[in-house]
Amino acid sequence: MKKILCYSFCLLFSVQQVAAQIVSIKSPDNKIVLNIKSDNGQLLFNVKKGETTVLEDSPMAFSSDEKKFIIAHLHSPEYYKVDETYPIRGIHSLAINKANGMKVKIADKKNNTLFAIDARAYNDGIAFRFLVKGTPTDKYIPKESTVFKLPLGSHIYYHDMYAHYEGIHKKQVIDCVSKGEWAAPPVTIELPQKQGYACITESALRNYPGMSLQADGECGLVVRLGHEQPAGYPFAHDYSLEEAKRLSEPAVITGDIITPWRTVIITSDLNELVNTDLITNLSPAPDKKLFPEGVNTEWIKSGRSVWCWLDGGQRTLEGMKEFSKLAGELGFEYNTVDAFWYRWTDMQIKELVDYSAQFGVKIWLWRHGRDLRDPQKRKEFFDRCQRLGIVGVKLDAFSHESKEFIDLYQACLKEAAEHKLMLNIHGSDKPTGEVRSWPNEMSREGIRGLEYGKNQYEWATHNTTLPFTRLVAGAGDYTPMVFGDRKLDTSWVHQIATALIFNSSVIFFGAHPQTILDNPAVDIIKDIPAVWDETIVLPCSEIGKIAAFARRSGDTWFLAVVNGKEAQTIQFPLSFLGEGWYEATVLNDRTTDAGAIKIERAFCRNSDSLTGYMRNGGGYIVRFKSK
């Protein structure tokens, strides 16, 4: 009979416990320090950057049931170093993975190892995870309640779990966040007295429930696992109350437990926050058999896609032929076909694939996640896609973080890779480094984008918040850029700028392709790349008010700005440019009409500045081509 091991760690100490112990790890630049200590009956951790407290003493709590084990001492750490670079895709093309690490065994009073903590300190943050050694027949039901206790006066940007990971962020002083409030990671923090930023999330999520956070009413955010989360509206819409109840039961893990990394990104400014590699650094390297060149594997191609969903279009085979033809005129690489393809035969799908190829366009198909929960049906679908020449699949309705759904993510990514298929996962949770481990994941939703309604949101504030909150964790399929009613309080320039600022390795544009072709800024839109070699967040950026990015692809630079609710005129130094002259194409808001664009041209050097006017909900874009 298989045994179920019931361990509980880091919870209670005996009264006879010896003096407090502490182990520490510092970042390579010695500025960030993570301390782990046993003190007064608890296992605690805290984090500092120089003289700045990032996290106060916070309980580290991990168990497999309610049985209490007494922790007697921490073994001496085994220290190690990480030092590597690797190609990555998205905000820049090369990631730097440099950290100091330690593994600490936690023992009871008989010196029996209960579990271990693996911890790392980077120049831009810290991370830790719990390790439990088991046999192939051991079974565990994990429980976590680690706390991230923030300094008084910290401001946090967070949203609840009602819409799963598709909420609207609000800004709140941590002292005023009520006990029981939910927060979907990543949660971005402005430290008191403008001492920098932090961001709490997780990395390397696999074989384990996903992590959300819940306020304790005492400046702490407590880890809650996927089965504990409320079943939000998206899951109720796509599945059922009975299914939600079933998934609220914790899942068993067999063999070893390796929890995801609990991560805290720590930066001095927004540029460092956006450019962090912490999440991908902690995610496992890709399987060389599936991805021989990692993110540069031959069949994985970033690009732009049209999609018949938000902005009209004939939902037929002939309509999709027209979309592919228009995508070719735009120079876009893909056409994503929505659910109406379910009625088509293999012959019709192949007809669209072959027709689209004449224009250099390849086909993605949408598919509901419930259709892929059965392994045999999943295999049949992926076989069919590969046989018919489909290159990518937009999988939808993955809006749960139970272990069962996390396992489904992993199975879909692996089996899609075996069929050389790219994936975009919709109705999803936050990214946890999949772009590195599974380079065939080109984007995922887990973000409130333009698919939501036409009249209930304040997009200007939302869009100037997302680059520094949700998108810090990784690519987000926002379905950017519309020119009609859905743009609400934003301008055309603002809408185009979202496609330049919001990271997604395949950009699934919201606008009808003919509307894009008819836009006066079509030449700029055609030039928008899906991935970047370099990203610089400009100093004028402020969460919820303005996001200003300078981004380079090859020799071409873009300056892209999305503005919040207040009109602004800002001078932008061009010091990010290389040497020599650049031809600049400038897109300005029209002061009297949000649905219009003023286009100007100029010649610039890196010693120059440009002055941009942005209306409320407006934007500003400059493309710089080297001469």
pLDDT in tens, 553-592: 999 999 999 999 999 999 999 999 999 999 999 999 999 9
Distance CA 253, CA 213 (A): 21
- Judged by DSSP in three states, 470 sits in helix
Distance CA 280, CA 188 (A): 18
Structure tokens at 622: 């400059």
Give mean pLDDT, residues 11-18: 33
DSSP 8-state secondary structure symbol assigned to residue 392: E
Structure tokens at 118: 């693996």
Structure tokens at 175: 């002292």
Report pLDDT for 69. 57
Report pLDDT for 113. 80
Asked whether 251 and 209 are in contact (CB, 8 A), the reply is yes
pLDDT tops 50 at residue 408: yes
Asked whether 468 and 626 are in contact (CB, 8 A), the reply is no
Cβ neighbours around 179 below 10 Å, total: 11
Mean pLDDT of all residues in the chain? 94
CATH topology of domain 24-282: Beta-galactosidase; Chain A, domain 5 (2.70.98)
The DSSP element (H or E) to which 21 belongs, if any, is strand 21-26
By CB atoms closer than 10 A (0-12, 13-18, 19+), residue 323 is buried
Residue-wise pLDDT for 159-175, tens only, equals 999 999 999 999 999 99
**Which of 238-242, 459-463, 520-524 is predicted least confidently?**
238-242
Distance CA 479, CA 65 (A): 42
Which residue has better confidence, 290 or 63?
Answer: 290
pLDDT tops 60 at residue 3: no
Best CA proximity match to 339, nearest among 396, 400, 411? 396
pLDDT tops 90 at residue 65: no
**Can you name the residues that pair with 425 across neighbouring β-strands?**
395, 444
| Bridging pattern class, strands 441-444 and 334-337 | unpaired
Q: Given the structure tokens 């520490």, which residue do they identify? A: 24
Asked whether 622 and 555 are in contact (CB, 8 A), the reply is no
Structure tokens at 59: 């309980």
SS3 sequence, 251-318? CCEECCEECCEEEEEEECCHHHHHCCCHHHHCCCCCCCCCCCCHHHCCCCCCEEEEECCCCCCCCCHH
Share of the chain above pLDDT 70, in %: 95
Q: Given the structure tokens 């990514």, which residue do they identify? A: 413
**Which of 15-24, 344-353, 385-394, 585-594 is predicted least confidently?**
15-24
Asked whether 221 and 214 are in contact (CB, 8 A), the reply is yes
- Judged by DSSP in three states, 592 sits in coil
Give mean pLDDT, residues 290-295: 98
Domain map (residue ranges) of the chain: 24-282
Report pLDDT for 140. 86
The DSSP element (H or E) to which 498 belongs, if any, is helix 492-501
Report pLDDT for 72. 67
The DSSP element (H or E) to which 34 belongs, if any, is strand 32-39
Structure tokens at 413: 């990514």
Residue-wise pLDDT for 297-313, tens only, equals 999 999 999 999 999 99
Distance CA 318, CA 288 (A): 40
**Can you name the residues that pair with 48 across neighbouring β-strands?**
33, 53
Report pLDDT for 417. 98
pTM across the whole model: 0.95
Asked whether 491 and 617 are in contact (CB, 8 A), the reply is yes
Report pLDDT for 456. 66
How far is the CA of 53 from the CAs of 37, 181, 381, in angstroms? 16, 24, 51
Tell me the pLDDT band of 321, cut-offs 50, 70 and 90. very high
| Bridging pattern class, strands 619-626 and 582-590 | antiparallel
Share of the chain above pLDDT 90, in %: 87
Residue-wise pLDDT for 84-126, tens only, equals 999 999 999 999 999 999 999 988 777 778 889 999 999 999 9
Distance CA 240, CA 369 (A): 14
Q: How many CA atoms lie within 13 A of 190 on its CB side?
A: 15
Best CA proximity match to 401, nearest among 119, 158, 213? 213
